[in-house]
Structure 1
Amino acid sequence: MNNVDDSLLIASYQQGNEGALQTLIERYKGRIYSFIYSKVLDRDVTEDIFQDTFVKVILTLKGGKYNDEGKFLPWVMRIAHNLTIDHFRLNKRHNIINETSHYNDEYNIFDYIGIMDECSETKIIKEQIDVDLKNLVKQLPDDQREVLELRIFKDLSFKEIAEETNVSINTALGRMRYALINLRKVIDNNNIILTVE
């Protein structure tokens, strides 16, 4: 299976072959992990962003929303890049602006303008999205809801979540994955919009 083209593996995974995704992950794990680590320089954070990247990949593929143009790796790298930016937005707003403007062309200073200049209408919409999202999360099974709240709302790492909930990291990741899948179903079934645009 290692010689199979990416697009064939994606199609196989979408038809229910879980092993096809595992092959894709193994194929690109080193490059994606190294890319994330080169930005955050922290193994735990890298692991979290890597796992979050593939949660997004899984949700998009399972939802049939991936348009295959033979560019699977660049697509995954873009997801990893965006999640890395999100990490810096949450944790290092000021430092990253200084660092990126000096030596790192991969990040764009315009990515951060939105942090500093949000109009009141956008804030109101975001607040409503936040309320809607919290109401949706309440519909999840308790174990899934707990992991999702700790990850999204309290910004704990999967390692910290595992310790807080007395489960293994793999169990925490599994619960997060199912929480996101179930959340996506509720959002799709109710035609809920969770974006500002």
Structure 2
Amino acid sequence: MSFQEKTDQELVHLYIQGNEASLSELINRHQSRIYTSIYLLVKDEYLAEDIFQDTFIKVIRTLKAGKYNEEGKFLPWVLRIGHNLVIDHFRKEKRNPTITNSDGFDIFDVLGIHDESMEEKMVKQQTHDDLKKLIHYLPSEQKEVLIMRHYGELSFKDIAELTNVSINTALGRMRYALNNLRKMMTNKEQLLKA
């Protein structure tokens, strides 16, 4: 039986037993989905490559240490590691992610057909800047879902899978995040001065 015919679990067991080639098959099998999920969150090719490599370094260390939980499936487990490394990166950097879509435009930009006046552009930019700052005041679960949904453009199904919660919980967190942001926008002067 060739590696391509083996399940992820079988390949993991072979790797733990010392067969290095089985890990190569696992990486080849899932690299596109794992890299894409990381890239959608960070929107930077080089950073995504670094985090992808860090993800597999952590996978290798966990497998070699015998700490892999067989009850979980391999791909969701690796996706969760990658997701956690992305969150760790943003925490370490302590910077606001630039929330853009695939064309490089800020996701909070409203598509306008008419040319905006300089004053309208400045007001819109200030509102976007304020909103990005206010996102950091959200509880971590709400902030995580909001960033994954709007920044990472992930479906609620994917968000639920990555965060190990039900779809209804992910939807609820998003609803609470938006409600909290609305309230904060009303009181933004006090919050942003703090």
What is the match of residue 75 of structure 1? Answer: 77
Name the TM-score, length of structure 2 as normaliser.
Answer: 0.51
Give the fraction of aligned pairs with identical amino acids, expressed as a percent.
Answer: 51
The Cα of 1:95 is off from its aligned counterpart by 4.3
Residues 32-74 of structure 1: per-residue CA shift (max 9 Å, x gap): 0000001111111001100000000000100111111250000
Cα gap change, 1:94 to 1:67, in 2 (>3 Å): same
SS of 1:52's equivalent in the other structure is helix
The aligned residue for residue 49 of structure 1 is 51
Larger radius of gyration: 2
Partners of 1:33 and 1:50 within 8 A in 2: yes
- How far apart, CA to CA, are the structure 2 residues paired with 1:6 and 1:22? 12
Structure 1 runs of 4+ aligned residues shifted over 3 Å read: 92-97, 99-102, 104-109
Aligned with residue 33 of structure 1, among 12, 15, 35: 35
Gap runs ≥5 in structure 2: 99-131, 137-142, 164-169, 174-194
Alignment match of 2:17 (pick from 15, 20, 28): 15
Give the gaps of 5 or more residues in structure 1.
110-197
Q: 2-side partners of 1:44 and 1:74: how far apart?
A: 23
Provide the rounded CA distance (Å) in 2 between the counterparts of 1:94 and 1:43: 18
With normalisation by structure 1, the TM-score equals: 0.50
* Aligned partner letter, 2:34: I
**How many residues are aligned here?**
109
Aligned to 1:125: none
| 1:10–1:21 Cα contact (<8 Å) kept | yes
Q: Partners in 2 of 1:39 and 1:95 — Cα distance? A: 9
CA distance in 2, matches of 1:16, 1:63: 13
1:3 to partner: Cα distance: 1.7
Aligned equivalent of 1:5: 7
